[in-house]
Amino acid sequence: MRTAKHKSNIPMTRSSSLTFSPLYRQIKELVIKSLEAGEWGPGDAIPSEAELALRFNVSQGTVRKAIDEMAAENLLVRRQGKGTFVATHSDPRNFFRFLRLMPDNGRTQQYESEPLSCVVREASAEVAGVLNIKPGDAVVAIERILRFDGQPVVFDEIYLVGELFADLTLDRLKSYERSLYSLLESAFGVRMIRAEERLRAVAANAAVAVHLGTAVGHPLLLVERVAYTYGNKPVEWRRGYYCTEQHHYLNELG
């Protein structure tokens, strides 16, 4: 007896590498590809679960599971009674998703970003290795201070892939009132969807000590972050020197 071959209902344009993943993961991958292609931009509503189920010829339950996972990963945001939307860095609720420094007293503090420099330079071997580009390729190098209630708490050294942000200038940084990621998303169409961080204790060198108003050798927390956009592409590497005399790094696990 010949067994009937199963025919997939998923469009054949997808990669064959998805064949052995669960069906909802295949739907998730297709939705992510639509996000990456700009079909729905940050803050936009995506089609309903029923519409997506019809589009991909699968059940609503399969779509719902894919959307639930994307919402858990902060790619999408569910709003009761309104629908599901593409997450955006312009949403104030996303501000502390990537900045985990909190005051010890628990009080809300006024945050201020003070850009110091923004220049295009050739990537060193170290920077190129992190950003998956070639040594000598253009990167945008930024230095800035983060102040909380007027006090310098973080000194950042930031490197961005040059071909994506060639028009970024110091004046543009200074005039923008929201977060850096919000600017990169709204002005350049690049959204940071995840990041990896490494933390270690370091002593302040002369340059960092001046920016943070502390002594050379003062203990600091160094937070090294690589941020990725769609397609698991690294687009930012930053080294943040955190003064933790009155603040702490908070990471919620659950």
Cβ neighbours of residue 15 closer than 8 Å, sequence gap 6 or more = none
Q: Is the pTM of this model over 0.85?
A: no
pLDDT of residue 108: 76
Q: Which domains does the chain have, with CATH numbers?
A: 18-86 (1.10.10.10), 98-249 (3.40.1410.10)
pLDDT of residue 226: 97
Q: CB burial class (10 A; 0-12, 13-18, 19+) of residue 143?
A: middle
The dihedral through the CA atoms of 44, 87, 110, 206 has a sign that is negative
Distance CA 133, CA 162 (A): 10
pLDDT of residue 251: 79
Distance CA 19, CA 58 (A): 15
From 55, 56, 69, 59, select the one nearest 25 (Cα to Cα). 69
pLDDT of residue 19: 53
Per-residue pLDDT of the chain (254 residues; tens, 9 = 90+): 444 433 334 443 443 444 567 999 999 999 999 998 889 988 899 999 999 999 999 999 999 999 999 998 889 999 988 999 998 887 666 555 667 788 888 787 778 999 999 999 999 999 999 999 999 999 999 999 999 999 999 999 999 999 999 999 999 999 998 889 999 999 999 999 999 999 999 999 999 999 999 999 999 999 999 999 998 999 999 999 999 999 888 877 76
DSSP state string for the chain: -PPPPP---S-TTS-GGGTTS-HHHHHHHHHHHHHHTTSS-TTPBPPPHHHHHHHHTS-HHHHHHHHHHHHHTTSEEEETTTEEEE--TTSGGGHHHH--EEETT-----EEEEEEEEEEEEPPHHHHHHHTS-TT-EEEEEEEEEEETTEEEEEEEEEEETTTSTT--HHHHHH--S-HHHHHHHHH-----EEEEEEEEEE--HHHHHHHT--TT-EEEEEEEEEEEGGGEEEEEEEEEE--SSEEE-----
> CA angle at residue 135 from 240 to 236, to 5 degrees?
30
